[in-house]
Structure 1
Amino acid sequence: MSLTDRAIARIRQLIRDGELAPGSKLPPEQQLAASLGLSRNLMREAVKALVVARVLEIRRGDGTYVTSLEPAVLLEGLGGAVELLQGDTVLELMEARRLFEPAATALAAHRITDEELAEVARHLSAMQETRDDVELMNQHDAAFHRAVVRATHNETLATLLEHVSERTLRARIWRGLVDDEVADRTVAEHRAIHEALAARDPGLAQAAALIHVHTTERWLREHLPEREHRRPAGPPDPADPRPLPDPADPLPPTEE
């Protein structure tokens, strides 16, 4: 462990022990460095690293503060990391979504309020109305799932799933462009999720969400790259140099 890492660990320990509470202001640099037995240079490096990690924030002209330490703040950097994932990871992210989202939907069935259920219904209606506009429909699709996961009242789970789902959105739009029947199926699958939530039935909600995510994942496995037919779930083949399509790349053209 480097000296900077040790300095970071000491500040994090102060936060874990409650000596620096969320939202609190750090003592002056010289004072904090002396109390921790660190040089001012090491203290500056540690503070910079913790600012990047969203643990601390610098308020110009005021000082350095501990952030709220809310999941949405601390996990914000996860979105940027997910965007940089390479190769087959769009399918790995779909696997992660399949593992987490049905369980989250079951939890939402326990906890969803009438107001939250009404929001889910609004997004479902918007999907039905925009089914001829692939990109707009998928935006409402994403908002539907975001509303469901928020209804778990679990901010950590909601933040993690948001970042996982964002990276798969382009691939789902691509599916909508090349599969003429996907819009009707997608609306039907979302309607089943909404009905299960309205019934406050966790088991049914989990099953409906699992069917929906699995259907999308299976379609992507069948249509993204040829090599996925040969290697549906294993590690990358080092002898095959062809990369998977990146969902951030331009969408493929549709057939006339």
Structure 2
Amino acid sequence: MTSAELPSRDEAPARRSLTENVVSAIMQMVSNGELLAGQRLPIEKELSVRLGVSRGSLREGVRALAVMGVLETRQGDGTYVTSLDATSLLSGFSFYADLQVADDATQLLHVRRILESESAALAARTLTDEQLDLLSAVLDRVDTIIEKGVDDDDLAEVIAADSEFHTRIARSTGNRPLAALIESLASRTQRTRMWRAMTERGTVPGAQAEHRAILAELRRRDPDRARVRMETHLMGVEDFSETHPTEASEESDASSQ
């Protein structure tokens, strides 16, 4: 875009205002039930006339709502309201978590500990026997790795099993917003856990023992003890992040290259 094509200082705020109006109007249409989950938006020409904005402003508003997880554009098929599930609507939080630097990673881990401790307490009341057996099967995979000896090539599989264990517990609560937040935080604190496993001897067997202790309290249907076990378990990763911010940050940067 050339300098001649750039909006003037007066035009830019005006455009932002029109875009915000589009966002507000479409969200209102969703809120009052005029647009339902999975429903296609009216054609662009019709909607721009209805909202009293140009097609350019309408498109900017639609893009903003797509980032927010409210709308999705399907190539060659139009724009639709998403399923409006917790995972879609909380996608903005995921972006926020992605932007955090090492110093703020500890704060995210702290939030994760609070949420997952309560998740474990809720899960102690809601988990079925089948779900408990699936949790045990996840930990069995890690036991197999530990028995043969954990090396660097195994760490990705161990961390994947770790994440699956925690997300299964969160999902079992039936609280979809809670589960969506936990899944987002678990995936975005994965590198800190990986770095800890690489630098601290005995971390994997220790974490596995803590996972087994959490599972035992879940099987006993004891919310209070499950909460305490989960909090103690996650405190280890949080403490590591506080004492090794530089190392964890460097590993995160290297992993993303």
Q: TM-score, normalised by structure 2?
A: 0.83
Contact 1:88 1:244 in 2 (8 A): no
* Residues 45, 190 of structure 1: alpha-carbon distance in 2 compared, 3 angstrom cutoff: same
- Structure 2 match to 1:248: 252
- Stretches of structure 1 that go unaligned for 5 or more consecutive residues are 226-242, 252-256
Deviation at 1:9, TM superposition (A): 0.5
Aligned to 1:233: none
Q: 1:218 to 1:48 in 2, by over 3 A?
A: closer
Aligned equivalent of 1:28: 43
Aligned match of 1:218 in 230, 239, 249?
A: 239
Structure 1 residue 75, shift from structure 2 partner: 2.3
Aligned equivalents of 2:88, 2:168: Cα separation in 1: 19
1:147 is displaced (CA, Å) by: 1.1
Q: SS of the counterpart of 2:21?
A: helix
What's the offset of the Cα at 1:77? 4.3
Deviation at 1:67, TM superposition (A): 1.1
Q: Unpaired runs of 5+ in structure 2? A: 1-15
User: 3-state DSSP class of the match of 1:248?
Assistant: helix
Q: Kindly indicate which of the two structures has a greater share of residues assigned to helix.
A: 2
1:2 aligns with 2:17: yes
Q: Deviations over 1:224-247 (max 9, x none)?
A: 45xxxxxxxxxxxxxxxxx97245
Aligned counterpart in structure 2 of residue 13 of structure 1, from 28, 36, 52 = 28
Q: 1:161 is matched by which residue type in structure 2?
A: I
Q: Does 1:117 align with 2:132?
A: yes
Q: Structure 1 residue 199 and structure 2 residue 238: aligned?
A: no
Which segment is superposed worse, 43-52 or 207-216? 43-52
- Aligned positions, number: 234
The 3-state SS of whatever aligns with 1:57 is: strand
What is the CA-CA distance between 1:121 and the residue it aligns to? 0.7
Aligned to 2:145: 130
Q: For residues 24 and 100 of structure 1, what CA distance do their matches in structure 2 show?
A: 33
Q: Return closer, same or farther for 1:139/1:126 CA change in 2, 3 Å cut-off.
A: same
Q: Does 1:62 align with 2:66?
A: no
Task: State which drifts further: 204-213 or 137-146.
Answer: 137-146
Question: Is the alpha carbon distance of 1:177 and 1:61 closer, same or farther for their aligned partners in structure 2, counting shifts above 3 Å?
Answer: closer
Which has the higher mean CA deviation after the structures are superposed, 187-196 or 111-120? 111-120
Q: Which amino acid aligns with 2:249?
A: P
* Equivalent AA in structure 1 for residue 58 of structure 2: M
Cα root mean square deviation, aligned: 2.1
Q: Match of 2:21, as an amino acid?
A: R
Say whether 1:90 aligns with 2:111.
no
Alpha carbons of 1:57 and 1:125: their partners in 2 closer, same or farther (altered >3 Å)?
same
Aligned residue number for residue 228 of structure 1: none
Separation in 1 of the partners of 2:192 and 2:18? 43
Q: Normalising to structure 1: TM-score of the pair?
A: 0.83
Asked if 1:150 is matched to 2:144, the reply is no
| Cα distance in 1, alignment partners of residues 128 and 250 from structure 2 | 37
- CA distance in 2 between counterparts of 1:43 and 1:219 reads 47
* CA offsets 1:11-33 (integer angstroms, 9 cap, x no match): 11111111111111212222222
Once the two structures are superposed, residues 191-217 of structure 1 have per-residue CA deviations (whole angstroms, 9 ceiling, x without a partner) of 111011111111111011011011222
Q: After superposing the two structures, state which structure 1 stretch, 114-123 or 27-36, moved more.
A: 27-36
Cross-structure match for 1:76: 91
Q: Which amino acid aligns with 2:234?
A: V
1:163-182 superposed matches below 5 A: 163-182=184-203
Question: Contact 2:191–2:248 (CA<8 Å) still a contact in 1?
Answer: no
